[in-house]
């Protein structure tokens, strides 16, 4: 009889402990715990456009932003055409921002002027292109450091692995999703997030 009560008591204590871990109070504590420095958003960055003008990304508040590291001599370069069509179709809701980078296979060796000419001539690019930057490594641009550092953006540690990686940012400048190079602009997951 004693053993039965002892077993029942242990089971009861275990159930109470398990429920306590899932209690609303614990969830509130976790949610209200101070997060590192997550007050910064993509809207805090100012960058140079491909033609040398300063643009504060706060200009895109109220729109989603699709940030893409691009290159002119890559197997994924035809995505420029899809990015342009995506820009034309969803430009009211999402801003496509292109960031030329020479980090992968030396596939963006040109100057800003050469890149701009290439994009316009071959793909009719009218979405905003920015000056060439580094998206990974020791000289990684602060924007890409924010995009790929969990302590800064809240959840993502994935830096670009190749050209044409994509980061989707929400209307308030918070990072929503990372997509690898092979995910095309009209992929269902991207479209469903921007519609």
pLDDT tens-place string over residues 20-70? 333 332 222 222 223 445 789 999 999 999 999 999 999 999 999 999 999
Cα–Cα nearest to 50, from 106, 139, 105, 118: 118
Considering the entire predicted model, what is its pTM? 0.81
CATH homologous superfamily, domain 42-194:
Glutaredoxin (3.40.30.10)
What is the average per-residue pLDDT within 71-81? Answer: 98
Spatial separation of the C-alpha atoms in residues 191 and 120, rounded to whole Å:
24
Identify the weakest region by mean pLDDT among 2-6, 63-67, 166-170. Answer: 2-6
Q: Is pLDDT at 91 greater than 80 in this prediction?
A: yes
Q: Is the dihedral of CA 151, 157, 39, 99 positive or negative?
A: positive
Task: Tell me the pLDDT tens digit for each residue of 145-156.
Answer: 999 999 999 999
Catalytic, 119? Answer no
Catalytic residue among 15, 74, 119, 165: 74
Residue extents of the structural domains in the chain: 2-32, 42-194
Give the model's pLDDT for residue 39. Answer: 84
């Amino acid at each position: 009889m004693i053993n039965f009560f002892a077993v029942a008591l242990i089971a009861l204590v275990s159930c109470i402990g398990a429920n306590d871990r899932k209690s609303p109070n614990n969830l509130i504590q976790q949610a209200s715990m101070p997060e590192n420095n997550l007050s910064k958003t993509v809207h805090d960055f100012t960058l140079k456009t491909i033609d040398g003008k300063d643009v504060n990304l706060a200009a895109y508040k109220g729109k989603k932003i699709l940030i893409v590291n691009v290159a002119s001599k890559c197997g994924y370069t035809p995505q420029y055409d899809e990015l342009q069509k995506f820009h034309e179709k969803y430009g009211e809701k999402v801003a496509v921002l292109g960031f030329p980078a020479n980090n992968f296979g030396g596939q963006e060796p040109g100057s800003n002027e050469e890149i701009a000419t290439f994009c316009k001539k071959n793909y009719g690019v009218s979405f905003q292109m920015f000056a060439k930057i580094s998206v990974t490594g020791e000289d990684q641009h602060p924007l890409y450091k924010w995009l790929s550092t969990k302590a800064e953006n809240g959840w993502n540690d994935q830096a670009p692995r190749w050209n044409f990686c994509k980061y989707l940012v929400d209307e308030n400048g918070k990072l929503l999703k990372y997509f690898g190079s092979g995910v095309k602009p009209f992929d269902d997951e991207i479209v469903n997030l921007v519609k």
